[in-house]
């Protein structure tokens, strides 16, 4: 089991589960975080700052704390 | 009258569209069921007068943020004849959910897919005709920024309005809002059938710019350097304009107003010329710089760079119990604290909102900027000026950070930080000017209201009782100043400056006007006079105090209404006054001790 927060920069992955309370879940899904969606990490900010994630046509920034609520399965290519 | 609501996710171009349709006729209004103000405008559509309302940008009708509740309450309390749903064409794959939610409510709607220009560049094609058929509502692609497709969208809206169907029933809406689901599935299938999105977007300019501006190590230095250059630009470009205007205003006085009032009684002459005209003219001379400031700020705001600043700063902000959005609000506060305070509505966690609202009033707003430019020009050389100004900005950040660090224990929170990163956009000249003009109009209304009343009051206080010399210790102003002397003397703030500070509590725009009235002088003469009365250490101490103590009554009122707590408002006032005193005291005493 792997979380979005552990994904390498540039690596692609598919969302396999989202574990979050209702309000966060809502927020994530409104921004495009849904099970089965592909995504990848573009960059991380310094000093354990937020992640810059690309989902389809949307770019989103979020902290690792929130990223660790999102389970993914990394794609090898 | 018909009612049309404009609805969409944040950053889809709602304000751009609203401004385009409404021209400059927009006004702020109150609505049943909600406490915040919404922008609305009267427009003529198909022979009907309709009211167009700009609802706050939301992700979801069922979310929990303040804005989402505002929209829900609006729809559940006000009948509407048409909803224009605005989406970003490039993000239709996730934004379509909002349309489906509106459709579930059986609201008459048209769907406008904005930013057609960007979608085209990215290679996204949308079959609007077939999508319209499946959605059973008119669908068109538009570009609010450039105006493409707008006539067709208006035509579709006109058709619906002209059908004269009964407006929505708020009670029914309120019931329907309570249940829905299954939208997920419907959305997927619609996207699959009608939209083609290439696997990787063809336009990667934003990526290239981001590689530099969001660089691991250079990102932050570039950001601060960019801000410094912008302020430098405002100052250098604004100075000649300001000088020109000041010269013109002095000319009006000497060649028009002086002759006009020569035969009127002394008190009227004094009130009109030394009171109102001196005060207002001194403030008016700063308008060019304020205009430039807002033009530049609105350009930065529209470009998408502010969200990048949030990304770069979030790690640091987290250490202070805030987040990247808080940083953006702090930057917005450099324009005006009031909208920045209202902007904290996007935060759901109350502790974080309060903490952010506690720091925002410390950001160096444009009204204080005007006081500083005045003092700096009077007491420092042109070479020193930008450095002094920059150090005040640094000081502003420092006090904000200090406040956040000290209070973060009181306002603990666990708000998630998730933010969308829009592509870079270059605003059109029309957008910049319209936006800048709105800000300036706002500034002028606020300023004129307070300034005229303020300067008249200052004039009265410094000229009565009339048996003592104006502005001397015997006048009311002198007595008030003497009352505060034990508190302000240790800061190097003399009686005259103390009066200006007291009035500055109402609005910082009054401070400079008040000084003009107190000294009975204007423009260069006023500056020269000030330079003989105080030295640079006193000036700096005065500026530090002005920077940190309560910005203005509007800010206080906003603090109270946004926090819904008088205790919080008083905390903010007390904290800023105490901090201002301590900082000025330390500065003034140590500068004197060092022999300056
Ligand atoms: N390329 C492009 N940009 C647009 C268009 N409409 C709006 N924008 C830009 O999108 C950004 C957000 O617009 P704004 O009206 O502030 O969005 P709001 O948050 O929905 O009110 C601004 O930078 C606009 O200039 C459009 O049709 N095409």
Instruction: Return the closest-CA partner of residue B435 out of B237, B285, B302, B305.
Output: B302
Select from A23, A26, A50 the Cβ nearest to the Cβ of B314: A50
Cα dihedral A22, B31, B57, B93 in deg (nearest 10): 70
Q: Work out the percent of chain A whose per-residue pLDDT is above 90.
A: 21
What pLDDT was estimated at residue B241?
87
Q: Which domains does chain A have, with CATH numbers?
A: 2-75 (2.30.30.90)
Q: Cα(B270) to centroid of ligand 1, in Å?
A: 50
What pLDDT was estimated at residue B35?
56
Ligand 1 pocket residue status of B370, Cβ below 6 Å: no
Beta-bridge partner residues of A38:
A14
CA B277 to each of CA B251, B374, B381: distance values in angstroms, whole numbers, following the listed order: 12, 17, 28
What pLDDT was estimated at residue B6?
94
d(CA B12, CA B426): 15
Tell whether A59 is within 8 A of chain B (Cβ). yes
Question: DSSP alpha helices (H): ranges in B334-428?
Answer: 337-343, 350-359, 366-379, 385-407
What pLDDT was estimated at residue B250?
84
Residues of A in contact with B9 (CB under 8 A): 30
A60 HSE (CA, 13 A, CB side): 26
3-class secondary-structure state, position B537? helix
Tell whether B148 is within 8 A of chain A (Cβ). no
What pLDDT was estimated at residue B404?
93
- Report CB contact under 8 Å: B420, A34: no
Please state the three-class secondary structure of B24-39 as a single string: CCCEEECCCCCCCCEE
From first to last of the 596 residues of chain B, give the pLDDT tens digit.
889 999 999 889 898 898 888 876 666 555 665 556 788 888 888 888 889 999 988 888 876 667 788 888 888 888 899 999 999 998 898 889 889 988 888 889 999 999 999 988 888 899 999 999 999 999 999 999 898 999 999 999 999 888 888 878 887 777 777 655 566 667 777 877 888 776 555 567 888 888 899 998 899 899 888 887 887 787 788 878 878 888 888 888 888 888 888 888 888 888 888 778 877 777 777 777 777 877 887 788 778 888 898 899 998 888 888 888 888 888 878 877 887 887 787 777 788 889 999 999 999 988 898 899 889 988 998 888 888 998 999 999 999 999 999 998 888 877 788 888 888 888 788 877 887 777 677 767 766 777 778 778 888 888 877 777 776 777 888 888 888 889 999 999 988 888 888 888 877 878 888 888 888 787 788 888 888 889 999 999 999 999 999 888 878 888 888 888 999 999 999 999 999 999 999 999 999 999 88
Tell whether B62 is within 8 A of chain A (Cβ). yes
d(CA B407, CA B321): 9
Tell whether A73 is within 8 A of chain B (Cβ). no
Contact residues for B20 (Cβ-Cβ < 8 A; gap 6+)? B144, B147, B150
What pLDDT was estimated at residue B29?
56
Tell whether B272 is within 8 A of chain A (Cβ). no
Q: Which domains does chain B have, with CATH numbers?
A: 2-196 (3.40.50.300), 220-415+428-593 (no CATH)
d(CA A29, CA A20): 11
C-alpha distance from A1 to closest chain B C-alpha (Å): 23
Q: Identify the residue whose C-alpha is closest to ligand 1 atom 13.
A: B13
d(CA B269, CA B490): 37
- Report CB contact under 8 Å: B419, A56: no
- Report CB contact under 8 Å: A34, B184: yes
Ligand 1 pocket residue status of B117, Cβ below 6 Å: yes
Select from B90, B207, B417 the Cβ nearest to the Cβ of A50: B417
Ligand 1 pocket residue status of B144, Cβ below 6 Å: yes
What pLDDT was estimated at residue B237?
84
DSSP string computed for B105-158: TT--EEEEEE-HHHHHHHT-EE-HHHHHHHHTS-EEE-BTTTTBTHHHHHHHHH
Q: Which two tokens stand for residue A33?
A: 């975080």
Question: Which residue out of A57, A67, A77 would a mutagenesis test of the B interface target, given it has the greatest number of B Cβ atoms within 10 Å?
Answer: A57
Residues of B in contact with A31 (CB under 8 A): 59, 94, 418, 420
Phi, psi angles (nearest 5°) of residue A60: -135, 145
Cis peptide bond prior to B569, omega within 30° of 0: no
The answer to whether B183 touches B104, Cβ cutoff 8 Å, is yes
Tell whether A36 is within 8 A of chain B (Cβ). no
Q: Identify the residue whose C-alpha is closest to ligand 1 atom 22.
A: B302
Phi, psi angles (nearest 5°) of residue B367: -70, -40
C-alpha distance from B111 to closest chain A C-alpha (Å): 18
């Amino acid at each position: 089991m792997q979380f979005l927060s552990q994904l390498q920069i540039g690596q692609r992955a598919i969302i396999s589960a989202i574990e979050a309370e209702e309000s966060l879940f809502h927020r994530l899904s409104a921004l495009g975080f849904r099970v089965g969606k592909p995504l990848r990490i573009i960059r991380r900010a310094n000093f354990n700052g937020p992640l810059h994630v690309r989902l389809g046509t949307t770019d989103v920034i979020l902290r690792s704390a929130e990223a660790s609520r999102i389970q993914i399965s990394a794609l090898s290519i | 009258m018909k009612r049309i609501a404009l609805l969409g996710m944040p950053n889809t171009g709602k304000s751009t569209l609203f401004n385009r349709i409404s021209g400059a006729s927009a006004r702020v209004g109150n609505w049943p069921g909600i406490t915040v103000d919404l922008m609305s405008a009267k427009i003529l559509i198909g022979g009907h007068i309709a009211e167009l309302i700009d609802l706050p940008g939301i992700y979801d009708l069922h979310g929990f943020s303040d804005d989402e509740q505002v929209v829900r309450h609006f729809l559940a309390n006000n009948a509407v004849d048409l909803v224009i749903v605005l989406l970003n064409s490039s993000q239709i794959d996730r934004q379509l959910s909002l349309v489906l939610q509106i459709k579930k409510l059986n609201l008459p709607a048209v769907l406008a897919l904005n930013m057609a220009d960007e979608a085209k560049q990215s290679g996204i094609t949308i079959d609007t005709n077939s999508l319209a058929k499946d959605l059973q509502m008119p669908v068109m692609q538009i570009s609010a920024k450039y105006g493409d497709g707008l006539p067709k969208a208006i035509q579709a809206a006109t058709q619906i309005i002209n059908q004269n169907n009964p407006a929505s029933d708020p009670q029914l809406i309120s019931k329907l809002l309570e249940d829905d689901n299954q939208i997920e599935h419907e959305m997927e299938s619609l996207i699959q059938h009608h939209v083609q999105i290439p696997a990787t977007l063809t336009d990667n300019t934003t990526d290239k710019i981001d590689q530099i501006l969001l660089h691991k190590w250079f990102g932050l230095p570039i950001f601060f350097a960019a801000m410094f250059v912008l302020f430098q630009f405002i100052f250098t470009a604004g100075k000649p304009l300001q000088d020109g205007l000041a010269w013109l205003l002095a000319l009006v006085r000497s060649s028009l107003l002086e002759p006009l009032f020569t035969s009127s009684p002394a008190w009227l002459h004094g009130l009109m010329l030394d009171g109102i005209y001196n005060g207002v003219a001194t403030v008016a001379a700063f308008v060019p710089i304020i205009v430039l400031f807002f033009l530049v700020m609105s350009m930065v705001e529209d470009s998408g760079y502010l969200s990048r600043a949030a990304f770069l700063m979030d790690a640091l902000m987290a250490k202070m119990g805030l987040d990247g959005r808080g940083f953006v609000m702090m930057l917005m506060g450099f324009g005006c604290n009031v909208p920045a305070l209202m902007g904290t509505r996007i935060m759901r966690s109350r502790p974080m909102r309060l903490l952010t609202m506690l720091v925002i009033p410390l950001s160096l707003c444009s009204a204080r900027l005007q006081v500083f430019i005045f003092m700096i020009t009077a007491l420092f050389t042109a070479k020193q000026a930008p450095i002094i100004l920059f150090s005040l900005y640094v000081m502003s950040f420092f006090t904000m950070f200090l406040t956040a660090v000290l209070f973060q224990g009181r306002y603990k929170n666990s708000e998630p930080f998730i933010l969308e990163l829009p592509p870079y956009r270059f605003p059109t000249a029309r957008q910049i000017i319209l936006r800048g003009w709105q800000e300036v109009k706002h500034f002028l209304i606020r300023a004129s209201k307070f300034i005229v009343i303020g300067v008249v009051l200052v004039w009265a206080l410094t000229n009565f009782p009339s048996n003592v010399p104006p502005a001397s210790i015997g006048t009311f102003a002198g007595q008030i100043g003497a009352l505060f002397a034990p508190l302000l003397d240790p800061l190097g703030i003399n009686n005259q400056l103390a009066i200006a500070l007291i009035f500055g509590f109402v609005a910082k725009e009054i401070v400079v006007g008040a000084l003009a009235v107190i000294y009975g002088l204007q423009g260069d003469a006023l500056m020269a006079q000030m330079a003989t009365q105080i030295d640079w250490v006193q000036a700096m101490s005065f500026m530090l105090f002005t920077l940190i103590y309560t910005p203005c009554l509007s800010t206080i009122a906003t603090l109270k209404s946004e926090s819904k707590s008088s205790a919080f408002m008083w905390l903010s006032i007390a904290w800023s006054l105490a901090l201002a005193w301590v900082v000025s005291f330390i500065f003034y005493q140590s500068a004197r001790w060092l022999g300056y």
